[in-house]
Structure 1
Amino acid sequence: MVNFLSQEKLLKRLEKPQGKIRMVLDTDTFNEIDDQFAVVYALKSKERLQVEAFYAAPFFNELSTGPADGMEKSFLELKKIASIVPEMANTPIYRGSEKYLPGPDTPVESEAARNLVERAMASEEDDPLYVVAIGAITNVASAILMEPRIIEKIVVVWLGGHALHWSDTKEFNLFQDLHASRTVLNCGVPLVLIPCMGVASHLQTTLSEIKDYVKDRGKVGEYLYETYLNCMKEHYAKSRVIWDIATIAYLVEQNWTPNELVHSPIVSEDFRWSVDASRHFIRYVHYIDRDKVFEDLFIKLT
C-alpha cells in the first residue's frame, strides 16, 4: 500500500489536536463493560468532542457465537445506549463487518467501512476526522483498503496490543484480526496507539466507587452502575479495568496521557512486538493518570 503522507505532514497530524475534535467511535460495545463507559464519556465531553457516528465492531468470545453475532449484539447495545443518553439521540449508528479480514489486502464490506470512507473523504484538509477504535480494527482497516486516500484525512486512535515492553502483544483487540492490525500499523496512517497491559491497565475502579459517583446520576448512571454490578458475581476486594475510556481521555486532555513518538512496531506471527527504526512514526501513549481521568468522567456524569 502506498503511503500518501510525507513525514512532515504525518508528524503534524500527530501533534496535539486543537479546538473541537470531530470523531467517530468504532466499538465492540457488547463485548465488555468498558465500551459503554467510553461511549458515554465521549458524548458527555461536548466541550472537546463532536461525535459524528458510531460503528459496531465484530468480536468473538464466550459472549457471541462468532464475529457477525458479536457485531450485531454491539449494534443493538449502541441502540440501547441511544435510548438512555439524550446526547446520542441523533447520532447515526452503523453495522460493521460480519467477519475478519480474510487476507492482508482484502477489505470486508460493511455499512461502517463505507460510511467511514465517505465521511473521511468529505473532511477538509485542515480538519481531519479522528477515528477512535476500541475493538478489533476490522472496520477501519477495511475502509483504508477500500480507499487508501483516507489516510490523508483521518487520525486513528486505537486501544490495541500491550505495552512495547510487555512480553507479548496477544491482546484481544489486536489478536482477533491480525490482518487488520497489521494494515493499520503498516499503512502509514496517522496513528495514536494506546496499549492495554502496562498502560490502560491503570484505569481500575471498584463497585464502591461506581456506586458513590455514578449510580445516582440519572438513567445513564443507573445503566452504567448495573452494567458494572453484573460484570462479576463477587465484588469483594476486586476492581475492574475500564480500558476503553483511555482513548477518550487522550482526546480530552493529553496531559493525562503522556506520550511520545516511536517507530510503528511490527507484529510477529506469535504476537510479539519488534522495532524497525526505518518505519514511519506513530504516537505512543506510555502512561495514564488514572485519577484525573476518572475525576473528569465522574464530574461529567453529574
Structure 2
Amino acid sequence: MKLTDQFFVLFILVGIFSMEGFAQTKPQVLLDADTANEVDDAYALSIILMNDNVDVVALNATQWQASQWTTENSMEDSHRLNQTLLGIMGLNTKTNRGGASRMYDWGDRAQHSAAAYEIIKQAKAQKNGKKINVIALGALTNVASAVFIEPSIADNIRLYWLGSTYDFEKGVLRRDDFNCAMDPYALTHLLFSSVEMHIIPISVASKMIFEYEETRTQLENHFLGDFLLKVWDDHIDGGRTQRTIWDLSIVNAFLHPEWVEEVEITTSKDNGGRKVFYYKDFDADRMRADFFQKIKAYNQP
C-alpha cells in the first residue's frame, strides 16, 4: 500500500471514530407520559421526539387512575396515543406500558411493568458517572417503582418532572396538585432517595398559555399540526378557547436550559431534607414561538 493510501485510510478511520464519538455525546432521554389525560402531553412530546440533538431511548405510558375523570384503563389509553403520535411522526421509538394504577400501600409497593424495567435497564447501562435523563410528565409511578425494585439505580437517574407547587419567598413546598395526587407515595419515595430531581412546579408552569385561535391558525394544514389540533378538539373539554400546555415547559427546560431560571433548594425534613433543583421562571413567549415554528417545519424522517 502506498504511503498516500495509508494516510487516506487513516483519515477515513479517524473520521469514523470521531463521528461515533460525536453520536455518543447525544444525551439519552427516557420519556414517561400520561398522554391521554390532557392535551399538553402530545404537544410537548412532539417537540422532543423531533429533536435531533437528543437520543430518545423509549416512551413510557403512565396512569392517572385516581382521577375523577379517569378512563377505564388510563395507562393503556396513554400507551395507544403514544403509538399513534409516533406513527404520525414517522418514528419507531420504543414504547412501554407502565403500571396500571398507583403504587401499592404495603409490601412490594412497586408497580412491576415494562416501563419500570426499561428505566432500570437504561439506568444500569450508564457508566463513568453518567445518568439517564428521565422526563416525567405525569404521575411518578414508573420512576419510583423502578427505584423501589432496584435501589442501586438512584444515582444513575436525572429526573425532570412537572409537579408540586413551591413558594420561593417562604420556602414552602406543597404536594396537592394533580400529578402529585395521582401517586403520592411515588413522590415520597423519590424525595427520600438520591435521585437527582429537576422540577418545574405548576405554580410556575401555569403561564405556558396557548390561545385556541392562534394555535389553529399556526398549526392547521400541516399533518402533525392537524393531529395536535384534533387532540385539543377531541378532549373532554375540547371547547376551551385557552389552555395551559404545562408539559411544554419541562421539556424545554431540558432542551434549552438557557430559557429557564433554576435554583437549588433544600426540602423540609418531611419532604426528604435534601437538595432539589426547582425552576423559578421561564420564557413562555419564546417557547410558544419555537413550538409553532418547529411543528410547521417538521417532515417525517
Matched residues in 2 for 1:156 and 1:35: separation? 17
- The reply to whether residue 156 of structure 1 matches residue 150 of structure 2 is no
| Pairs within 5 Å for 1:234-245 | 234-235=239-240, 238-245=241-248
Report if the CA contact (8 A) 2:232-2:238 is conserved. Answer: no
Matched residues in 2 for 1:131 and 1:207: separation? 30
Matched residues in 2 for 1:294 and 1:59: separation? 26
Matched residues in 2 for 1:157 and 1:288: separation? 15
3-state SS of paired residue (2:165): coil
| Distance 1:20-1:64 versus aligned 2 partners, 3 A rule | same
Report if the CA contact (8 A) 2:173-2:267 is conserved. Answer: no
Deviation of 1:233 (Å): 5.2
Matched residues in 1 for 2:56 and 2:120: separation? 16
3-state SS of paired residue (1:108): coil
Matched residues in 2 for 1:299 and 1:149: separation? 41
Structure 1 counterpart of 2:218, from 213, 221, 229 = 213
Segments ≥4 residues shifted beyond 4 Å: 165-168
Report if the CA contact (8 A) 1:125-1:153 is conserved. Answer: no
3-state SS of paired residue (2:231): helix
Paired AA for residue 111 in structure 2: V
- The reply to whether residue 289 of structure 1 matches residue 283 of structure 2 is yes
Residue of structure 1 equivalent to 2:263: 260
CA RMSD of the aligned region, Å? 2.0
- The reply to whether residue 280 of structure 1 matches residue 300 of structure 2 is no
Segments of structure 1 that go 5 or more residues without pairing to the other structure are 1-18, 268-273
Deviation of 1:114 (Å): 0.8
3-state SS of paired residue (2:265): strand
| Distance 1:65-1:208 versus aligned 2 partners, 3 A rule | closer
Residue of structure 1 equivalent to 2:82: 78
Matched residues in 1 for 2:149 and 2:173: separation? 34
Matched residues in 2 for 1:284 and 1:167: separation? 11
Structure in which a larger fraction of residues adopt helix: 2
- The reply to whether residue 146 of structure 1 matches residue 149 of structure 2 is yes
1:137-182 C-alpha deviation (Å, 9 max, x unpaired) = 0000000011111112110001111233579531111111111010
- The reply to whether residue 227 of structure 1 matches residue 221 of structure 2 is no
| Pairs within 5 Å for 1:10-29 | 20-29=26-35
Paired AA for residue 38 in structure 2: E
1:244-296 C-alpha deviation (Å, 9 max, x unpaired) = 111211111112221100013566xxxxxx7x8xx221110011211111122
3-state SS of paired residue (2:206): helix
Residue of structure 1 equivalent to 2:40: 34
Q: Report % sequence identity.
A: 27
Residue of structure 2 equivalent to 1:246: 249
- Structure showing greater radius of gyration is 2
Matched residues in 2 for 1:202 and 1:119: separation? 33
TM-score calculated relative to the size of structure 1? 0.82
Paired AA for residue 283 in structure 1: F
The count of residues paired between Structure 1 and Structure 2 equals 266
Segments of structure 2 that go 5 or more residues without pairing to the other structure are 1-24
